[in-house]
Amino acid sequence: MSDKKPSSDLPEGSPITRRIEDGVETFEAVIQGETIQWDKGLTYGRHLQTDQLLSSQVPVSDKPDEMLFIIMHQTMELWIKLMLHEVREAIVALRADELGKAGKTLDRTATIMRHMIHSWEVLATLSPHDFLTFRGFLRKASGFQSHQYRELEFLLGLKRPDLILVHHDNGEATEQLKQVLQEPSLYDEVLAALARGGRDIPEGKLKRDWSEPYEPSDAVEDAWLAIYTDPDQHWELYTLGEKVTALEYYFQEWRFKHMKTVSRVIGHKHGTGGSSGVNYLVKALDLNFFPELWSMRTRMNAPKEGGDYSQCPVS
Ligand code: HEM
């Protein structure tokens, strides 16, 4: 129900009209030929907390290029937050054996990662000179200290408890990381779904101390190999395997673009976080979330090696 009534606090002749709609003060004006409406209940800014968001860019230097650096990190942190949310949704779906639903969420997560990969291009416009104008102001601040990034690594399946140390003075982040460390990861949940789907997964992979780093297993590799050798028979698990693989594929590409951008901006200098810099980031390229999904591929064979050339036309 809407009752139109003239505005008391709007100036005489104002192009804005006011009415009460569902008990909420609602406004309307014709702007550029369109009837635009807004109300005092939920506005864009209140919903998205834009005031808070847009006042969170606080440079520590007076150098103009620091703004790019801040916004690049902040946007990536937001995307990582969304990925954490989506991966958790995928885990809920997996536990309920809703593999299609899990797959959709994993697709979205991989798409976010691809978007982040493209966004390195923006940061690549930061020349070594641009960065050096404010690098000294950053002191020891580094992406190495991103607790969300570490949480994402843990949640996907890469458990490295010693990395929690750098958050020792952030109780909340430490607690969160410890909790994720002790819970089954996405990969653990995928293996549980495989077991429920009739695949032979060792008991030790289905019940274990989840905080321990995952150790690759021949039996799990065999299970994936069987699924990939006959996709038609195992279509749901096969597509799940491919979606999970895509996630790691794009994660690695993100790592690679980060490493290349860093090498373009600081060469082989040490990082502000104290590591060997590019060398540290190159080592990270060998990290794995879902090891058997990769190792199994080497063992796959074409049904008939060499093919049957007897039917080829002879020229
Ligand atoms: C010019 C821009 C950048 C430079 C020069 C840079 C440099 C580095 C370096 C050298 C490291 C190794 C740790 C250290 O010693 O500091 C590192 C780690 C890291 N950086 Fe960046 N980075 C840049 C931009 C970004 C952005 C935009 C993000 C987005 C969140 C990011 C996220 C990370 C993360 C998560 C790590 C930890 C990686 C791991 O432990 O595997 N970096 N960065």
Cα separation, 218 vs 291, whole angstroms: 11
Where do the structural domains in the chain lie, given as residue ranges? Answer: 2-51, 68-299
Q: Quote the pLDDT of residue 306.
A: 63
Average pLDDT over residues 29-50: 97
Kindly state if the Cβ of 293 falls inside 6 Å of ligand 1: no
Q: Quote the pLDDT of residue 294.
A: 98
Kindly state if the Cβ of 131 falls inside 6 Å of ligand 1: yes
Cα separation, 67 vs 267, whole angstroms: 22
Kindly state if the Cβ of 206 falls inside 6 Å of ligand 1: no
Kindly state if the Cβ of 133 falls inside 6 Å of ligand 1: no
- Residue of 166, 258, 259, 268 to test ligand 1 pocket, by largest number of atoms within 8 Å of CB: 258
Note whether 73 and 142 are within 8 A (CB). no
Look at residue 2 and tell me whether its pLDDT is greater than 50: no
Length of the chain: 315
Kindly state if the Cβ of 163 falls inside 6 Å of ligand 1: no
Lowest mean pLDDT among 162-166, 216-220, 303-307: 303-307
Ligand 1 mean position, distance from CA 215 (Å): 27
pLDDT above 90 covers a percentage of the chain that reads 92
- Residue of 61, 76, 81, 144 to test ligand 1 pocket, by largest number of atoms within 8 Å of CB: 144
Ligand 1 mean position, distance from CA 275 (Å): 10
Look at residue 304 and tell me whether its pLDDT is greater than 70: no
Side-by-side strand order, sheet with 17-21: 2-5, 17-21, 24-31, 34-39
Look at residue 283 and tell me whether its pLDDT is greater than 50: yes
User: Using 50, 70 and 90 to split pLDDT, how confident is the model at 1?
Assistant: very low
Does domain 68-299 bear CATH number 1.20.58.480? yes
Q: Which residue has the tokens 């050798």?
A: 229
Average pLDDT over residues 221-246: 97
Ligand 1 mean position, distance from CA 162 (Å): 18
Q: Quote the pLDDT of residue 228.
A: 97
pLDDT in tens, 102-153: 999 999 999 999 999 999 999 999 999 999 999 999 999 999 999 999 999 9
Residue nearest ligand 1's atom 5 by CA: 262
pTM: 0.93
Kindly state if the Cβ of 254 falls inside 6 Å of ligand 1: no
Average pLDDT over residues 270-296: 97
